[in-house]
């Protein structure tokens, strides 16, 4: 059967995460139900990242095997037609080799996080950023982030319900940019690794916000990491500023 890879964009607010769950809407279920309308064999779709409730994506990747051979443009258009009015868009579609797996073939995942520092309530970007009302020092947050780069036991920054077999991961990048916006500042975090633990990115950002607000010294991030204790973590920030931005494979998937 031909196998197809999809690049997917979605607004995570209406969904209880990527993964199909009983009795609540999910991104996976919504796409599968659109697929069922054109593929009576009712195929499953496998995603590269199991984003949590409220988390968005601009570069999620998934794959499915279909009995029928489709022109990729027609398949993309048919899926988007049947996805309406869901807040999900298939932005690219490509035939891939039978050994391709959206999750297990990935060699890197890249997340973005948008944090806004502004006293006035955010309206236009509400639900798309995490807003705090205090000033943040980007240099201090960058110093705190440096302690997290590399291969570590990230138990401190791991959810208590995380199902990963090992807390040891290699963090390739955590960088922060600052932008002036109307009446405030926006901070964009870029976090790269092959894979992540449950709530790891949100634990990082919530902890670094404490550093930027001068409630934590940046050295406390290293102390928290070395503690290998979830109770040493800073607050876990809310999901609405988090985006799965890109999934990287050893060879190019989409032309």
Which residues are the active-site residues? Answer: 52
Q: Which of 86, 79, 77 is nearest to 11 (CA)?
A: 86
CA–CA separation, 42 vs 247, rounded Å?
26
Question: Per-residue DSSP letters for 183-210?
Answer: TEEEEEEEEEES---TTHHHHHHHHHHH
Is the torsion defined by CA of 26, 246, 201, 170 positive or negative? positive
Q: Indicate the burial class of 174 (C-beta count within 10 angstroms; 0-12, 13-18, 19 or more).
A: buried
Which pair of structure tokens corresponds to residue 80?
């988007």
Residue 85 phi/psi, 5° resolution? -95, 20
Question: Which spans in the chain are helix H?
Answer: 27-36, 72-83, 138-146, 200-212, 219-227
% helix / strand / coil in the chain, to the nearest 5?
A: 25, 35, 45
Which residue's entry shows tokens 């916006």?
181
Residue 124 class from Cβ within 10 Å (0-12 exposed, 13-18 middle, 19+ buried)? exposed
Structural tokens at position 161: 């319900």
């Amino acid at each position: 059967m031909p196998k197809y890879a999809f690049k997917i964009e979605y607004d995570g607010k209406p969904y209880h995460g990527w993964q199909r769950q009983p009795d609540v809407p999910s991104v996976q279920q919504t796409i599968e139900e659109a697929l069922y309308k054109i593929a009576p064999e009712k195929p499953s779709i496998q995603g590269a990242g199991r984003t949590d409730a409220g988390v968005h994506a601009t570069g999620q990747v998934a794959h499915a095997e279909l009995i029928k051979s489709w022109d990729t443009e027609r398949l993309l258009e048919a899926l988007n037609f049947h996805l309406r009015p869901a807040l999900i868009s298939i932005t690219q579609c490509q035939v891939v080799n039978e050994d391709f797996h959206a999750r297990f073939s990935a060699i890197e995942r890249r997340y973005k996080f948008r944090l806004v520092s502004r006293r006035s309530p955010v309206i236009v970007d509400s639900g798309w950023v995490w807003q705090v009302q205090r000033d943040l020092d980007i240099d201090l947050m960058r110093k705190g982030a440096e302690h997290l780069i590399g291969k570590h036991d990230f138990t401190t920054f791991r959810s208590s319900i995380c199902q990963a077999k090992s807390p040891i991961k290699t963090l390739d990048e955590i960088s922060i940019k600052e932008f002036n916006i109307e009446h405030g500042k926006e901070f964009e975090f870029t976090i790269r690794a092959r894979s992540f633990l449950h709530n790891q990115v949100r634990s990082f950002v919530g902890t670094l916000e404490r550093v930027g607000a001068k409630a934590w010294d940046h050295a406390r991030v290293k102390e928290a990491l070395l503690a290998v204790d979830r109770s040493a973590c800073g607050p876990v920030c809310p999901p609405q500023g988090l985006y799965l931005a890109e999934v990287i494979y050893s060879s190019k998937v989409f032309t």
